[in-house]
A and B are shown apart, each in its own frame.
Chain A
Amino acid sequence: MTKKFTIRILLFLALLAGLNFVIDWAFKSFSAHRWVNLKMDEQFGEYDGTLTWLAMGNSHNCVNTRILDNSFNYGSPGENYIRTYYKLKYILEKTGHKPEYLLLQADISSFGPKISNRYEYNYYWIKYVDYLELARIKNDRDIINYWIEGKFFSYAGNYKDFWLSIVYRIKMKEVNMFRGYREHRDYRNFADVPDRQKVAWDKAQMILTKNEPLDPAIRVYFDMIMQLCREHQVKVLLIRFPEAKEFYEEQERLVPVGKLYEEVTAIAEKYMVFNGILDYHDMFFEHPEYFFDPDHLNVKGSDLFTEKLAEDLKKLTSFRPLEFSSHSGQ
């Protein structure tokens, strides 16, 4: 190899690295997902009120913190128990905040292998997740690649996020967020969807694996969340958020729901901090108009649900200890 050729290769690699650096930086700056999540982090950092209720999991559009007093909604889209664990660990060990109750999303979709294998938005989650530990627990060293992606190649494979960011930035001039909760997605109504069953089926297929309701890694991390809460004396309430009827039916076709919750309860009940499951999954079965899509509430649905939740939580705090296991939201 001639000296000239070596220099040319090095120059080209430097060009590539420089270009990558610029695109990585631009993508991180532009990504609406990161923008929204960082805003949430910022609000949480600034929050100095009483923190009775901390909502986590994929609860981002369910718990309206304007309705539920002393609460913060720290749920992010696509958040699974793995990410919840690391974020909660960060909160409890590094921020000085300690909620009295953790309102942890516990929908059917929270436990399967597909949610366990969601690794998008690493450029945001890199702040919290210990990828080495995760790789060890999952026995999959390729997980380290997600760290590399999050650190240096945020744009890699993420053109959809770029597209969404353009759409969001056009629709939202600024992030209208209150204690982590942001009103959004009210421009669509699931009741208007003509083929709701098909859309629900698609969604169920996307997030669940047939006959695999509880992923081993999710089981481990769910247990780790409970342990963490025990160590920090944070009470845990599992919440099944409202789902569209069609979506629930399609999920039920894929996984044994009863068996799943038996297992989940068995794990949770090992810990004294566990305060039961609040079950609202069928609360809006006859009201598709309260949903944005099969598994996300719209603003109206979120408001109605939070009112009901707030009422139930008020009862819980007034009459404790109270047996809340399998409480029906109806």
Chain B
Amino acid sequence: MLFNSVDYLLFLPLVTALYFVIPVKWRWAFLLLASYFFYMCWKAEYAILILFTTLVDYFVALKMDSLSTRRQKKPYLILSLAANLGMLAGFKYLNFFSESVNFAMAGLDLPGRVPVLDILLPVGISFYIFQSLSYTVDVYRGTTKAERHAGKFALYVSFFPQLVAGPIERSNNLLPQVNHPQAFSQVRLVSGLKLIAWGFFKKVVIADRLGVFVSYVYENPDEHKGITILLATVLFAFQLYGDFSGYTDIARGSARILGYDLMINFNRPMIARSLRDFWNRWHISLTTWFRDYLLYSIPYVKNKKVMVSLMYRNLVITYLLMGLWHGAAWTFVIFGLFHGILLVLENITENYRLRFFRWTGISRFPGVQTTLGMVATFILLVFSLFFFRAGSIENSFILISNAFDFSTFKQTIGYIIRNNELIFGILMVIVLLTIEYFHEKYNLVKLVLSRPTVIRWALYAGCVIFILFFGVLYKQKFIYFQF
């Protein structure tokens, strides 16, 4: 079930109403049922995969909890990792592996081919597996106690607002909330609805509108040149942001209405001053997951000394895997590798850059320095998106080489100016960035709340009508569903 569907607009109020009517002790069961229903609307049989992850990790965690040393717990952790990552590999990466092997064999003129299976990628598999894995690792590390209640643990894994595209929650945040459900709150309802509306604005007014132009360019890479490709890639950055952060807002808003607080997943990433800053603001739940469960788990100490070179290596490995997490394709490997290498370079050159800013006198103007950082980060991000969005490496290179061919500049500018939808989309991006800026500075929600009811209601109703009127309302899937 998509958030941007009539089905969901009926599902959420119904679930909310019933949830608060049901006695507190059965609310978990109802929410679990609703979550499975939500998932099964897409493909019923794949719910068995969630059930499998749930059962494995539930029993593994219980067993680990009964053991005292990490040495004793380790085999069970390995079992959980093998079961979960094995399932992920089977459903998401097997064909990628087979196709890569076949490509190599064909290149080397070797006979025979590895079979490529006809498997449909289960929606949200990377999200719920990572969420469940974080729990078993936490239990292994002793930072979380194993959940004894199988049903409540199942709800932790499958909680519908964040089941298919995150945020990837942690057990120490979500499980206590599952165990202590909150009573209905008017404040939560209103604030959740506002968040949902904001998410819809980002998704249907911005992302889906920009998506039309981006697809037009990226689905025909040979046919476009220069400014069209550059603009499409820049707008893809905003499409991706609007799409994914819009989803997160709807997820957080829905959860908030039900009494759950999900973690913040985006913090104005488009104004990041460096790539490190960007990854601290973009898909925060994934970045922190990789930081907490992978980056610092790979050895970086040698002879009792912290080895910077090993840390850099680990950083590249982590980002490469983060790239691969997004999709089973070489384009995502390059995307991850690109970010990993640049983060290392950013770290190595930090002092040189500071010295350069001091030498040129730019450091006396912090605003200029910040702007330069923001522009450079955005350019690097956009460049990496050539790989993220293009369907293949071949297409990525076609797009990159054509992007700097400005022979049709005049015609393209004419086309862009004539394209009302595109102009409107760009305008909406500016509106989004402006609202985000003012919200951070003045807390617009508080500002609105301090206004008289009449003004507030007019504003809310106006927002709903605006989204309906200017939204692209034929159902577009969320980009991150494919991951």
Contacts and interface: CB of A to CB of B under 8 A. Distances in A.
A201 interface: yes
B474 A5 contact: no
Contact of B468 (A2, A156, A160, A201): A156
A145 B474 CA distance: 10
A156 B6 contact: no
Contacts of B457: 12, 15
Nearest to A23: B465
B6 A158 contact: no
A198 B20 CA distance: 58
Interface string A188-215: 0000001100100100010000000000
B289 interface: no
Contacts of A158: 469
Interface string B443-475: 000000000000001001100110011111111
Interface in B5-39: 5-6, 20
Interface string A8-20: 0000100110011
A142 B6 CA distance: 8
Contacts of B66: none
Contacts of A19: 461, 465
A157 B468 contact: yes
B474 A163 contact: no
A137 interface: no
Contacts of A148: 6
B420 A195 contact: no
A156 B186 CA distance: 29
Task: Determine the main DSSP class of A at the interface with B.
Answer: helix
B184 A1 contact: yes
Contact of A201 (B6, B20, B223): B223
Contacts of B461: 12, 15-16, 19
B5 A157 contact: no
B411 interface: yes
B470 A159 contact: yes
Interface string A127-147: 000000000000000100100
A85 interface: no
Given A195-B411, A205-B220, A119 B474 contact: yes
A153 B9 CA distance: 15
B186 A5 contact: yes
Interface residues of B, number: 25
B216 interface: yes
A89 to B, nearest CB: 26
B292 interface: no
B350 interface: no
Contacts of A149: 473
Contacts of A119: 474
B405 interface: no
A157 B411 contact: no
B468 A1 contact: no
Contacts of B473: 149, 156-157
B368 to A, nearest CB: 39
B469 A159 contact: yes
B420 A163 contact: yes
Nearest to B5: A142
Nearest to A19: B461
A23 B460 CA distance: 16
Nearest to A117: B474
B249 to A, nearest CB: 20
B421 interface: yes
A125 interface: no
Contacts of A16: 461, 464
Contacts of A163: 420
Interface in B382-424: 411, 415, 420-421
B266 to A, nearest CB: 26
A155 interface: yes
A1 B190 CA distance: 12
A1 B184 CA distance: 7
Interface in B182-212: 184, 186
B475 A2 contact: no
Contacts of A201: 223
A148 B6 CA distance: 10
Contacts of A205: 216, 220
Given A119-B474, A156-B473, A12 B468 contact: no
B231 to A, nearest CB: 15
A138 to B, nearest CB: 14
Interface of B: 5-6, 20, 184, 186, 216, 220, 223, 411, 415, 420-421, 457, 460-461, 464-465, 468-475
8 contacts: A5-B186, A15-B457, A16-B464, A145-B6, A156-B473, A157-B468, A157-B472, A195-B411
Q: Which 4 A-B pairs have the closest CB atoms?
A: A157-B473, A156-B468, A5-B186, A145-B6
Given A155-B468, A157-B472, A157-B473, 9 more contacts: A1-B184, A19-B461, A20-B465, A23-B469, A142-B5, A156-B468, A156-B473, A157-B469, A195-B411
